[in-house]
Amino acid sequence: MPLDMSMKVLNAPVPAHLSFPLWFEDTKWDKMKYVQNAATDEYLGIVGKDFRCVDHKTFFEDVQQVMVETLPEDELTAVDVRWRSARRNAWAMMDLQLTGVAVKIENEKFSTTIMPRIIALHGVDGSQSNQVYFGKIDAFCTNGMINGTYDQVKRKNTSGFNMEDFKKQLRKARQDFYKEAQTMNKWLNTEIPKFIDMEDLIEQIVGTERKGRQMTDLYWQEAGVRGHNVFSLYSAFTNYATDDVRSGMPLRNTRDKAETQSESMWKREQEVSKWISSDLFQRLLKTPLRNELQSA
């Protein structure tokens, strides 16, 4: 059963359910082998004979060590670490929120703080490459957001994960965070003109009529708190990717939902990242806005 655990220190031990050693066992076909949880003898998957992988504990501890070596000590004094898992613990996520590094954004109606976020993904069954993403989180509603596919370090298990690349990206992400906070403040203070049909706009961005209607309802809820602005649309999207129940768009109640929920919500974050990067969303930030959107 996937767990969602929170700890208030950076150097938190990897949870017991993710700290198992790995064992590989040959199959009857010499081109494949089994991946096995050596602590429970549970089979987790079948991979190619050349597949190589460290265990979760080794990977996540290495990521934490790089953070300690790279970031200023005062930025690591308050960190919220959340662990998520799926597929019988073959898939794991370490979601770190640097709560001690916060930047305030505000308009006449609303204010909140934005904090940096580092997400490390690791898989031991061959279906998840080693990845680290950078993002941010809204302290008011705890909605999180990755910054796009360009802000990630990614390596297949077979090629290993380059911690030197991670160090470089981590330094860059630290510098970029403050620029991103300024961008969020701009979104919060960029009103969406009343002539725009929000349901039509959102449907075009998300791609389906049903999801567009649901997301429009969610947008107006967010706008009631934050105002009729670009940040409210962003918050509606990130709400959808953060809490499937609270957003009113629950995951399908399939037989394996409990085992795949964390991974499914992560896929929603990637989906939202594409929406935020879309031309239609970006046009909301441009002037003159009317001609841009009427020509879309």
Cα–Cα distance measured from residue 130 to residue 266, given in angstroms and rounded to the nearest whole number = 14
The torsion defined by the Cα of 222, 226, 232 and 237, in degrees rounded to 10, comes to -50
What's the whole-number average pLDDT of the chain?
83
- Give per-residue pLDDT as tens, 143-172: 666 654 334 444 444 445 677 888 888 888
Q: Is the pLDDT of residue 294 over 70?
A: no
* Distance from the first to the final alpha carbon of the chain: 45
Are 14 and 6 in contact, with CB atoms under 8 Å apart?
no
Q: Is the pLDDT of residue 288 over 60?
A: no
Burial 89-125 (b: 16+ CB within 10 A, else e): bbbbbbbbbbbebebebebeebebbbbbbbbbbbbbb
Kindly report whether the global pTM for this prediction surpasses the value 0.85: no
Helices (H) and strands (E) in the chain, counts: 8, 11
pLDDT band at residue 79, thresholds of 50, 70 and 90? confident
Question: Using alpha carbons only, how large is the chain's radius of gyration in Å?
Answer: 21
Cα–Cα distance measured from residue 281 to residue 201, given in angstroms and rounded to the nearest whole number = 9
Unique residue bearing structure tokens 């965070």: 177
Task: Provide the β-strand partners of residue 82.
Answer: 6, 95
Dig out the tokens for 196 from the structure. Answer: 């725009």
Spell out the domain ranges in the chain.
5-177, 190-294
Cα–Cα distance measured from residue 266 to residue 95, given in angstroms and rounded to the nearest whole number = 11
pLDDT at site 129? 81
Q: Is the pLDDT of residue 217 over 90?
A: yes
Taking the mean position of all CA atoms in its chain, how far away is CA 114? Answer: 15
